[in-house]
Structure 1
Amino acid sequence: MNRVSVDIGGTFTDCFVAWGDRVVEAKSLTTHHNLAVGFNDALADACRQLEITPHTLLSQVDSVRYATTLGTNALIERKGPRVGLLVTTGFKHTVPLSRARGYGEGLTEPEQMDIPNAQRPEPIVPIPLIREVRERIDYRGDVFWALDEDDVRLRIRELVDAGAQALVVMFTNSVVNPVHELRVREIFLEEYPAHLLGSIPLLLSHQVAGRKGEYARATSTIVDAYLHQTMYHGLGTLELNLRQQGYARPMLVNHNSGGMAQLNSTDALQTVHSGPVSGIAASEFLAAAAELGNVVATDMGGTSFDIGIVVQGDLKYYDFNPVIDRWLVSVPMVHLVALGAGGGSIARYDRMYKTVEIGPKSAGSDPGPAAYDRGGQFPTVTDADLLLGYLDPKNYANGHIPLNPRRARQAVRDNLCDELDLDEIGVAKLIKKQVDASMANGIATELRTRGYEPKDFTVLAYGGNGPLHACGIAAALGISKVLAPPYSSTFSACGAGNVSQMHIHEMNTWTVLFNPNTKSFFSDYETFNHSVEELEQRGRTDLERQGMDPADIRYRLELDMRYGNQRVQTAVVTHLSRLTRQRDVLELMDQFHERYGERFGKGSQSPETGVRINTIRVCAYVEQPKVKFARLAITGEPKAPPEPVSSRACHFVGHDGAIDTPVYDERARAEGTEISGPAIITTRVTTYLVEPGWTFRAVAQGGAWFVRNSSH
């Protein structure tokens, strides 16, 4: 297997290369002005390790896969085109009103509670760029008011004259019958052929989101249109860069659904958060291969701390109406929680509680932490780690980024020392304590709100800073063991290479499995099966267009179900691909009953109110070869560590004064090596910190368990 997979984060670009029976990891700073520059730097580092040229590598690999934050950054920076919107007459204010919740969506809970200071986000589509079109389709899909084509031509002309650079069509009930939206596209091409307007995109809402709910479907399509140009040019530049270096195959892009597809089969909206989702995918595969049971995936990078849950024998949690930036959208996305607690997160004084607060603002890669010596003036988590002695100023990021302790000290002193009445080391300890507690609280909250206890999960600590803060997070969480997985520094990039080629299609339905009024069960099997077949056909068409063999395509049927008129929906994955008899209906209801009880507690089920299906979802996928993981259990007698290469004076939370701490190199990761803390293990791409009272135990493929001593 020859493969390159890349995770382009807010601070670092991670590159994971599988070359035959070898794997190598490489990192470089993300170059936001041109992502190809950072990718080339990371790829060149990987090639030096393999002792081949980038051209040789790229001309022989099976695939190159990207997970990127390009779309996320474009939303944050509001760098996008002017978007025009066509809606059904009477629905002009659906998007501006934003269900009366637009002021709070995408904000933290304290910010949502601060209603007097609430502000709606700057709209992507201002009201002057919204036009109503005379048409209407009812809830059954019947044409109630025929499309006025002359009105359509006039409204499109008005939007183009007003400077719209992308157009969105969102008609009511178009997911049931898209005939009017499809006709608008034909009219648009008649009025404005490509040679007149160039590549101006026109997006139809029913093709972006397959569920009812006009507002979420509209915002999904609007965000997709807003990001289209940025993604087209950004990823197009990456693909051109590959072509120039000898890569001839299609470039693959990771999706936030946990799959991937070729660039020409990827919507811009699907790329948002695709990097952290790739880490969750890697965690799922590792948990199964290494027999870890339940795991909570935690990715501490340079910009954020991302949390995801993988439950043994279950599927990943999905958000079916996630909030991206400040916008509620209607796409299935692997559930994750992002905290502003990365290495570049800025620490500032909290005047209310008279302590230090971490994030959510980040120094990113430009200018980066103050220690990068690139103009950063505010203290960050990385600056604190440097002052505490955990990082080697001359060997950070394999020596590519020399750190300046004097700049870090100055940033801490100028911004926090006087307010906190502490010296630089005292402030750095407080930053370390606060960021570890914040991450631990995020993990505990995420687990307990879903009915789980942290002690029942294995915590995976990965990302560039994960192994550095693993002990502190585990201690604050109250658990005694945490795992830094193999390839921990580039684990999300590894996951980007391990996902399947996949497409998800869904449609709304009103399928009553059990009607409590008539005491009858569902029997219209033909209609249900036809809907499933249609969704399978869409997925099959997508994959065949990308060159997949139809014999390799697999399908997974998922249903959003609920009791009666409850608002809460529960996703049920079923092995039943078709319904043919009443026994199938009863089996499906039993699956829902069991899944609901697992989620909300046994006895909470209420089948007497009726059972119905609201959404039919089909995942079409083709399995791809994966990087294999070994079992990561601690077995056998421990091996003595190698001789330390040096020692440093380090400061630890809960300990007064500096402690002379041995520093080990890559040899300490040999399987079976056991080291009692305090200790530091420095590798090419990350640093493992073993705090006092903890023991480091190296396991297969460079993984490492941090185990808390029972005496502490």
Structure 2
Amino acid sequence: MKRVSVDIGGTFTDCFVIWGDRYVQSKALTTKHNLALGFNEALDYACREVGTSREQMLAEVDSVRYATTLGTNALIERRGPRIGLITTAGFKSTVPLSRGRGYGEGLSMEEQQDIPNAARPEPIVPIEMIRIVRERIDYKGEVLIELDEDDLRRQIRDLVDAGAEALVVAFANSVVNPAHELRVQEIFVEDYPEHMLGAVPLLLSHQVAGRKGEYVRSMSTIMDAFLHKVMYFGLSSLERNLRASGYVKPMLVVHNSGGMAQLNSTDALQTVHSGPVSGIAAAEHLAKCAKLGNVVATDMGGTSYDIGLVVDGGVKFYDFQPTIERWLVSVPMVHLATLGSGGGSIAQHNRMYDTVQCGPTSAGSDPGPACYDRGGMKPTVTDADLLLGYLDPANYANGYIKLNPRRARQVIEDQLCDPMDLDLIEAAKLIKRTVDLDMANGVATELRTFGYEPSEFTLLTYGGNGPLHACGIARGLGIGRILAPPFASVFSACGAGNLSQLHIHEMSTFTVLFDSMTKQLFTDFAKFNAMVEELERRGREDLLRQGMPVDKIGYRLELDMRYGNQRVQTTVVTDLTRLETLADVVKLINQFHTSYGDRFGEGSQAAEAGVRINTIRVCSYVEIDAVDFADIHPGQKRVPAPAPVGSRKCHFVDHDGAIETAVYDAAALEHGVVIDGPAVITTSHTTYLVEPGWRFEAAAQGAAWFTRIDA
């Protein structure tokens, strides 16, 4: 197996290469002006490790996969085309009103509560670019008012004259009956062939989002259209870069649904947050291989801290209506919580509370933290880590970046020590304590929101800064056991290498499995099975278009279920592919009943309110060979710890004064090594900080366990 996987983050571009029986990890700073440059630098480093050229490697690998933040950055910077929206008469204000919640979506709880300063984000589609057309389809899909085609042609002409560079069509109830939206597409192609307008995309809402909800479906399609151009040119430039180096196979793009596909089968909206989702997929694979049970996956990079849940038993956590940037959308996205906490998070004085606030603003890769000596003028978490003694100025990122302690000292003294009357080390400790507690609170909130306790989970910590802050985060959570997985610094890129080619199609439904009024079970099996077959057909066509053999295609049925009219939905992954008998219905209800009780406590179930399915989802996939994670539990094997390569004075949050701390190199990651803290283990890709009261145990494939021994 030979494969290249890349995760392009806000600060670093991570590369993971599978070369036969060798696994190679590398990093480079992200080059936002041209993503290919950072990719080439990271790949060239991996090629030197393997002992081959870039051209030779790309000629032999079976695939190259990308996960990128390009779409996220485009939304933040508002880089996109002028969009025109065509909607049903009477629905012109649906998008501008944004369900009356547009001022708060995408903001923190504190910002949402600040009503006097509430402000809606600058609209992607201004109201003067919205046109209405006379047509109407009801909730059952029956046509109430035929599409007025003459009116439609006038509205399209108005939008074209107004400078629309992309058109979105979002009619009411089009997910039930898309006939009118499809007719719009036919008329647009007839009246405006390519030689007249060029490449003006027309997007139909029912093809982007398959669930009901006019606002979220419209916003999903609008955002897809907004990102279409920048994603097309950005990813195409990456593909051209591969072609220039001799790679001839299709480039694969990671989706936020937990799968991947070829570039020509990828919607722009599916790429948002695809990097962190790759890490969650890797955590799921690792948990299955090593039988870890429940895992909370946490990725601390240079810009953000991403949190995802992997629950024993295969329960899938999707955001049914995730918020991307400041807008609510309706796409099947693996659930992910993101905090603005990372190594590059800027620390600033909060004058109201006379304390330090870390993030969400980040110094990124350019200019980066002040200690990078690239022009950064703000104190960051990495600056504090350096001054506390955790980082080696001459051996950071394998010597790729030389750190300047003097610059870190200067910005912290000027912007934090003086206003807060603190000495340098006190200020650095306050930064670390604050960012660790912020991340711990984020993890605790995420778990308890879904009905879990932190004690029920293994804390999986990865990313370039994850093992550095793991003990501090676990201390805030009250957790005494942490796992840093194999290839921790590029774990998300590793996950991209494990993903199967997968497409998700879903359909809204109102299927009552148990009617609380009539006490009857569902019996219309033909209707249910027809919906499943239709979703399977769509997924099969997607994969066949990409050259996948039909006999290799598998399907997974997922159902979003609830009791009666409860707002809480639970996703049930079932091994049933069709409903044939009442016994199948009872089996499905029992599976939902058990899953609900596991999450919210036995006895919380409410079958007397009825049981219904709101969404049918089919995942169509072709499995691939994945990284084989060995048994990474510590076991009984013990080998003598290597001699430290040095020592230095480190400062820890709960200890006064400096502590002489042993420093180890990558030899400490040999399976069976046990080291009691305090200790610092510096490798070419990340730093493991073993705080006082913790024990470090190295496991197979470079994995490491942290166990609290002073509790």
Match of 1:448 in 2: 448
Confirm or deny: 8 A CA contact 1:640 1:675 kept in the other structure: no
In the alignment, the residues of structure 1 paired with residue 291 and residue 574 of structure 2 have an alpha-carbon distance, to the nearest angstrom, of 24
Give the alignment of 1:424-435 within 5 angstroms. 424-435=424-435
1:323 deviates by 0.6
Match of 1:488 in 2: 488
Give the alignment of 1:539-618 within 5 angstroms. 539-618=539-618
Amino acid at match of 2:498: N
Match of 2:19 in 1: 19
Confirm or deny: 8 A CA contact 2:315 2:571 kept in the other structure: no
Amino acid at match of 2:356: V
Secondary structure of residue in 2 paired with 1:497: helix
Match of 1:119 in 2: 119
Match of 1:467 in 2: 467
Give the alignment of 1:101-500 within 5 angstroms. 101-500=101-500
Amino acid at match of 2:123: P
Match of 2:629 in 1: 629
Task: Give the CA RMSD over aligned residues.
Answer: 1.2
Q: Choose 308-317 or 278-287, whichever is displaced more.
A: 308-317
Q: Choose 293-302 or 504-513, whichever is displaced more.
A: 504-513
Confirm or deny: 8 A CA contact 2:314 2:573 kept in the other structure: no
Structure 1 gap segments, 5+ residues each = none
In the alignment, the residues of structure 2 paired with residue 183 and residue 92 of structure 1 have an alpha-carbon distance, to the nearest angstrom, of 20
Amino acid at match of 1:615: T
Question: Are 1:38 and 2:38 matched, yes or no?
Answer: yes
Deviations, residues 202-231 of structure 1 (Å, cap 9, x unaligned):
100000000110000000001111000010
1:592 deviates by 2.1
Amino acid at match of 1:510: F
1:560 deviates by 1.8
Match of 1:650 in 2: 650
In the alignment, the residues of structure 1 paired with residue 24 and residue 680 of structure 2 have an alpha-carbon distance, to the nearest angstrom, of 22
Confirm or deny: 8 A CA contact 2:316 2:573 kept in the other structure: no
Secondary structure of residue in 1 paired with 2:647: strand
Instruction: Decide whether aligned partners of structure 1 residues 77 and 423 sit closer, same or farther in structure 2, where only a CA change above 3 A counts.
Output: same
1:596 deviates by 2.4
1:550 deviates by 0.8
1:304 deviates by 0.4
In the alignment, the residues of structure 2 paired with residue 206 and residue 668 of structure 1 have an alpha-carbon distance, to the nearest angstrom, of 54
Deviations, residues 553-574 of structure 1 (Å, cap 9, x unaligned):
1111111222223333222222
In the alignment, the residues of structure 2 paired with residue 225 and residue 177 of structure 1 have an alpha-carbon distance, to the nearest angstrom, of 22
Secondary structure of residue in 2 paired with 1:567: coil
Confirm or deny: 8 A CA contact 1:560 1:569 kept in the other structure: yes
In the alignment, the residues of structure 2 paired with residue 567 and residue 302 of structure 1 have an alpha-carbon distance, to the nearest angstrom, of 36
In the alignment, the residues of structure 2 paired with residue 118 and residue 480 of structure 1 have an alpha-carbon distance, to the nearest angstrom, of 41
Q: Percent identity?
A: 70
Match of 1:690 in 2: 690
In the alignment, the residues of structure 2 paired with residue 395 and residue 197 of structure 1 have an alpha-carbon distance, to the nearest angstrom, of 55
In the alignment, the residues of structure 2 paired with residue 515 and residue 647 of structure 1 have an alpha-carbon distance, to the nearest angstrom, of 69
Secondary structure of residue in 1 paired with 2:128: helix
Amino acid at match of 1:190: E
Amino acid at match of 1:348: Q
Match of 1:51 in 2: 51
Secondary structure of residue in 1 paired with 2:557: strand
Confirm or deny: 8 A CA contact 2:317 2:571 kept in the other structure: no
In the alignment, the residues of structure 1 paired with residue 696 and residue 592 of structure 2 have an alpha-carbon distance, to the nearest angstrom, of 43
Secondary structure of residue in 1 paired with 2:568: coil
In the alignment, the residues of structure 1 paired with residue 637 and residue 563 of structure 2 have an alpha-carbon distance, to the nearest angstrom, of 54
Match of 2:72 in 1: 72
In the alignment, the residues of structure 1 paired with residue 423 and residue 80 of structure 2 have an alpha-carbon distance, to the nearest angstrom, of 45
Structure 2 gap segments, 5+ residues each = none
Q: Choose 202-211 or 625-634, whichever is displaced more.
A: 625-634
Secondary structure of residue in 1 paired with 2:498: coil
Confirm or deny: 8 A CA contact 2:452 2:599 kept in the other structure: no
Amino acid at match of 2:34: N
Q: How many residue pairs get matched?
A: 711
In the alignment, the residues of structure 1 paired with residue 589 and residue 657 of structure 2 have an alpha-carbon distance, to the nearest angstrom, of 62
Deviations, residues 138-170 of structure 1 (Å, cap 9, x unaligned):
111111111111111111111111111111000
Give me the TM-score of the superposition, normalised by structure 1: 0.98
Amino acid at match of 2:83: V
In the alignment, the residues of structure 1 paired with residue 251 and residue 225 of structure 2 have an alpha-carbon distance, to the nearest angstrom, of 21
Amino acid at match of 2:329: V
Confirm or deny: 8 A CA contact 1:370 1:407 kept in the other structure: yes
Amino acid at match of 1:218: S
Instruction: Decide whether aligned partners of structure 1 residues 708 and 610 sit closer, same or farther in structure 2, where only a CA change above 3 A counts.
Output: closer
In the alignment, the residues of structure 2 paired with residue 516 and residue 296 of structure 1 have an alpha-carbon distance, to the nearest angstrom, of 36
In the alignment, the residues of structure 2 paired with residue 644 and residue 304 of structure 1 have an alpha-carbon distance, to the nearest angstrom, of 32
1:637 deviates by 4.7
Amino acid at match of 1:337: A
Amino acid at match of 1:611: V
Amino acid at match of 2:322: P
Confirm or deny: 8 A CA contact 1:436 1:472 kept in the other structure: yes
In the alignment, the residues of structure 2 paired with residue 680 and residue 609 of structure 1 have an alpha-carbon distance, to the nearest angstrom, of 56
In the alignment, the residues of structure 1 paired with residue 94 and residue 337 of structure 2 have an alpha-carbon distance, to the nearest angstrom, of 28
In the alignment, the residues of structure 2 paired with residue 612 and residue 344 of structure 1 have an alpha-carbon distance, to the nearest angstrom, of 46
Deviations, residues 397-418 of structure 1 (Å, cap 9, x unaligned):
1111111111111110111011
Secondary structure of residue in 2 paired with 1:364: coil
Confirm or deny: 8 A CA contact 2:315 2:572 kept in the other structure: no
